[in-house]
Amino acid sequence: MNGKSAGKKTAELPVAELSPKEASREQARLAALLRRADIAYHQQDAPFISDAEYDAARRRLREIEARFPALARPDSPTGTVGAPPREGFARVGHAVAMLSLDNAFTDQEVLEFDARLRRFLGLGEAVLSYTSEPKIDGLSLSVRYENGHLVQAATRGDGHTGEDVTANARTIDDLPEHLTGAPAVLEVRGEVYMTHADFAELNAAQRASGDRPFANPRNAAAGSLRQLDPAVSASRPLKFFAYGWGQLSEPLADTQIDALARLAELGFATNPLTRLCHGPEELLRHYREIEATRADLGYDIDGVVCKVNDLALQRRLGSRSNTPRWAIAHKFPAETAWTRLLRIDIQVGRTGALSPVARLKPVTVGGVVVSNATLHNEDYIRGIDASGNPIRGGRDIREGDWVKVYRAGDVIPKIADVDLARRPPDARPYEFPARCPECGSDAIREPGDAVRRCTGGMYCPAQAMERLRHFVSRNAFDIEGLGAKQVETFYLLGWIREPADIFTLAERDAGGEKAIAGLEDVLNRLRGGADPNEQKKALAEALGLEHFDPERARERFEERSRTPLARQHGWGVRSARNLFHAIEERRRIALERLIFALGIRHVGEAAAKLLARHYRSWDGFARAMSAARVGEGPEWEELLNIDGVGEVMARALVIVFHQEGERALIERLVAQLREIEPAREAAAPDSPIAGKTVVFTGTLERMTRSEAKAQAERLGARVAGSVSKKTDLVVAGPGAGSKAKRAAELGVEIIDEDTWLELIGDA
């Protein structure tokens, strides 16, 4: 009997006559129905049951929960109005941990596994018997039966705690709802998977309805099982192979092979390719047989699992923290395929890293159609690794090349090799762009860094959102009521594109039209980021939509733009007023906060403070940065002279101020500010060194260098790292060399440590 026919009968029974088991099933059915109806009504405007039917279902669910209070769940539709917010599944602790498996990739490793076990068990030359089972590429599920009734199903989670997916598991036909002759407590464990045929059909339907297709059957199975709406799960064709067990009130059998047979008798699907093997040679032979039939199975497997057959021996062998000693997964080698590399595209990540992606002529690799592969970085394309050693025999990769693609597990496909014999005669070495393809700013590679990065900062659409989050962070502008989440939402709604826009938001809000970027523009900007699908999801969420749908998105986008902030979801008159007030307050900002907020690479809080102290005013700082040239001239020297500013940071600063787009953006921001407070002058009024630039050189004997530096700064001096015309005083200890010499040349006053201490009144 399967769950669905049993459900129908139960649906007609009065609540007073339901057994606890039946009530539980009814509760799941009604809750699922109501949730689906809520979503259809509130979010899709497509009700599928009448109001009367809806009310009847809700009444019945309330009655059930009243009669069986233990069944009432906090997320029950009886306690909610409209669709519940997206929330996770209840957590389920596993009474017996759900372990993972150790891997073997070679025959040798399987032989070693067998030898290790025989040693452990002290078996000498005796032959150990194993079951050899296909390793199904799906996701594991633990299904609990009590007195023959399915009561709970849980995912593996971290092995100790999983997610309660009972309602969804009930929709899997391979899982019987009732068992006859089973132990009173039986937790069946196995793999949920999807066949290739079902996967293809599901993806065709996904595409037809404008939804995102799944990358492979495993993702499709996982996505389907972890659907919050069991009705959706029910429409997805999931299957299940039982391969083991968790908690049991009595043993199933004495051996693995008999236990599997017993599970099959009870009505579970077990894999027909499972064999009993005597010794490792038989294991290896069976592995090859399975490997040969792999392509024709109609579902994905990624290896063969070898398990000690004798359950008493399994117990003796026991487990390590995560994996049993008595089993090993003999994995298939990564699948490969040759195809043509059509084009190399550059993607710009959230932090500005330029990542090359190979666009391939689509090819099937291990059952999955692959059309993209990662190329890591420019060295990888050139055929050298991080330490400059050749990879692929030093062969570079060019557009038009034939390349060998491989997939290992779930990871992004990679390129293993290139066929020089088939290289088109006109193929040219790939020239990695020196400009960001998203914003046109310079893309530079710092010494020692394998990655080239865009210097466009906030101006670059790929980085804008990340940079805005930084801009409002606690040690930057720190605007109350405008945290990372809000700034992200405002960005996605087209209300702000760059920091300056934050300061014009109140005015636009009052004017009745907030958007300064259209939906197209927002979508275009998102395209640059690392994961377009993630971003579409974020956009849908910002718009309050369940899925991204262009038509609805446009409507919502415009509606949101015209609705005053005070009337937006999650806001009120007071919070909106407070936000605009907090923004207004921030038109006055400390120089160091402003410098830090720009999010310039390598310029953290401490560095921002140093720069603010040194340059004193925004104008002084901006003018110096704009005038500086990397590696030359007095402004460059001055920048490097600041103690704590090294070449890498100096270069980053100067480069930013020479990017047209970013520079203009910074100017627009500064134009919105009322007052940039200069760095605090820490000097005591009577300090003899206030305002002086001091350089320490040689060994200090009565204090450490950092102590001396801190003390000097406390008294209002600037501490520089090297001597220049601007240096007022050099404190030279024993061993002082070139700095003291240069000071002498420039006629700068040089004193020793004792004189210094006397001078500052600390002798």
Any idea which residues carry the catalytic annotation?
135
Nearest to 627 by CA among 617, 642, 639, 616: 639
Q: How far apart are CA 651 and CA 144, in angstroms?
A: 62
Residue type, 149: H
Q: What does the block give as tokens for 180?
A: 């006859």
Residue type, 67: R
Range list of H helices, 210-310: 217-225, 230-234, 256-265, 280-293
Q: How far is the CB of 721 from ligand IVH (least distance, A)?
A: 55
Q: Which is nearer to ligand IVH, 58 or 316 (CB)?
A: 316
Q: How many residues does the chain have?
A: 763
Q: How far is the CB of 329 from ligand IVH (least distance, A)?
A: 5
Residue type, 32: A
Q: How far is the CB of 141 from ligand IVH (least distance, A)?
A: 8
Q: How far apart are CA 212 and CA 367, in angstroms?
A: 19
Q: Which is nearer to ligand IVH, 116 or 207 (CB)?
A: 116
Q: Which is nearer to ligand IVH, 324 or 599 (CB)?
A: 324
| Burial category of 323 from C-beta neighbours within 10 Å (exposed 0-12, middle 13-18, buried 19 and up) | middle
Q: Kindly list the residues in this chain that would bind ligand IVH in the complex (CB under 6 A).
A: 99-101, 133, 135-136, 140, 156, 191, 243-244, 305, 324, 327, 329
Q: How far is the CB of 270 from ligand IVH (least distance, A)?
A: 9
Q: How far apart are CA 268 and CA 186, in angstroms?
A: 12
Q: How far apart are CA 731 and CA 436, in angstroms?
A: 46
Q: How far is the CB of 248 from ligand IVH (least distance, A)?
A: 14
Q: How far is the CB of 226 from ligand IVH (least distance, A)?
A: 15
Q: Which is nearer to ligand IVH, 224 or 339 (CB)?
A: 224
Q: Could you give the dihedral angle defined by the CA atoms of residues 557, 561, 567 and 569, in that order, rounded to the nearest 10 degrees? A: 30
**Shortest Cβ contact with ligand IVH: which residue?**
140
> How many angstroms separate the Cα of 423 from the Cα of each of 32, 397, 414, 497?
57, 10, 19, 44
Q: Which is nearer to ligand IVH, 110 or 553 (CB)?
A: 110
> How many angstroms separate the Cα of 712 from the Cα of each of 640, 695, 737?
19, 10, 22
List all residues 6 or more positions away from 46 whose beta carbon is below 8 Å from its beta carbon.
40
Q: How far is the CB of 189 from ligand IVH (least distance, A)?
A: 7
Q: Which is nearer to ligand IVH, 407 or 651 (CB)?
A: 407
Residue recorded with tokens 């009604």: 30
Report the DSSP pairing between strands 693-697 and 718-720: parallel
Nearest to 104 by CA among 94, 95, 114, 96: 114
Contact 614, 719 (CB under 8 A): no
Q: Which is nearer to ligand IVH, 297 or 648 (CB)?
A: 297
Q: Which is nearer to ligand IVH, 191 or 643 (CB)?
A: 191
Residue recorded with tokens 């900002």: 589
Q: How far is the CB of 313 from ligand IVH (least distance, A)?
A: 14
